[in-house]
Structure 1
Amino acid sequence: MARKTTSRKKGSAPKRRRFALPAGLRKWLRRGLLAFVVLFAISLIWPRFLPTPYGPYMMAERLRLGGISHDWVAMEKIAPDMARSVVAAEDANFCRHWGFDMSAIRAALANGATRGGSTISQQTVKNVYLWQGRSWPRKVIEAAITPLAEVLWPKRRMLEIYLNIAEFDEGVFGVEAAAQHYYNVRAKDLSAVQSARLAVLLPNPKERDPRNLSKNLRARAAQVLDGAATIQADGRSDCFDS
């Protein structure tokens, strides 16, 4: 009896086998993804209601130094001049943007700046969730989280978090610790001048002392003092002023 032979049609490609993950592995991957989404959502929601005691950088500094100075205080216990000074110094349009100040970013790029244009919202997200440095991965993650934080956290709460975790000296975090460290007063008792001087520390807090500012930084503090009064007068502090 002749044996039947099969022949592949000319030009036809062999069928490819589809690679399939085992059912058990697929189930655990789905569970892992769901757990990640839930934990991520919780991590975005809880800062709206609860104090944020430590961010990654604060924890790293605590380990490196053997301890840090930090005392969380509610916005009601921070001098209004301090809140306005920080906004005037770091992000004058804080109340008017959705997390990114495009005009400030364009100005920074036009001036050839390698940094700048970062809003208080972006800085807060970085301090709460991310590491320090200028790497692109960090900036991409920061850019992804910032709009979500803007939706979930009121502006006043965003600024409250920022004021409580910003670094003001080596191992000194938050405005309450800074007020006591430099002026031996509580954050709610800071004067307008003291507030402006603390605000100019933020770009480089480890190398500046508000009690002994250079001539240029004293001039900058005077500008911040005027800027704080300006944003109060023109309504750019309405989103966080009590």
Structure 2
Amino acid sequence: MKDAWIAYCGPAAVPDEFWTRWNADPLLIAALALLAFAVARGRASNARAGWGAIALMLVVFVSPLCALSSALFSARVLHHVILVSAVAPLLALAFPQRRAGAIPLAMLVAVHAATLWLWHAPGPYAWGLASVPAYWLMQLSLLGSAWLMWQAILSPATQSGPALVALAVTIGQMGLLGALIVFASVPLYPVHFASSLAWGFTPLADQQLAGLLMWVPAMLPYLATGLWLAWASLRPVEVAP
């Protein structure tokens, strides 16, 4: 059984056809090819990070995960988690902030948090899947705000203290949003009701799984980065003779 609405990734995937539902949007493929060309030509400061970001974008936008995210809210949240917690920091490593940013880190953290909460409110979420322009506004605002925040956090110009606070605040607000989704007593995202049943989930179980994904696995990249920054700040600085 499929939902009647169609988002960018197409009709909600059902189990029998999942592995056939690859997205071959020529504009998307062209955009990823341009990014790959930039990395291949040495435009990225960290080529491995650049290729990693491209590989993950192929997973979230081209692979059958795209169609699955039309079927399950938990798959959509996994899609968003990969974008903001994995693709964005890899892009920040590949294309880092060259000098001290004009926008304060605290403001970047606040803007990203507001963007994340906005797009996971039931009304804006449903609108973001209702048309192709709305879908890409959702994706680009989530990825763009996360990219700018990660650039500032990973910038050599940012001291470890503010960077660690930014990571802790982001972990806290994502965990709170995930907890609210987990403990909601009723399903909040009706666009996935019919297709979640096709995958063997009740709408509430699908929603709870989505909240757990945002609550626990999503924080791991932030925690790992925080531990790395804390360890780096404790290492003695070698003074050149």
Tell me the TM-score range normalised by the shorter chain. Answer: under 0.3
Larger Rg: 1
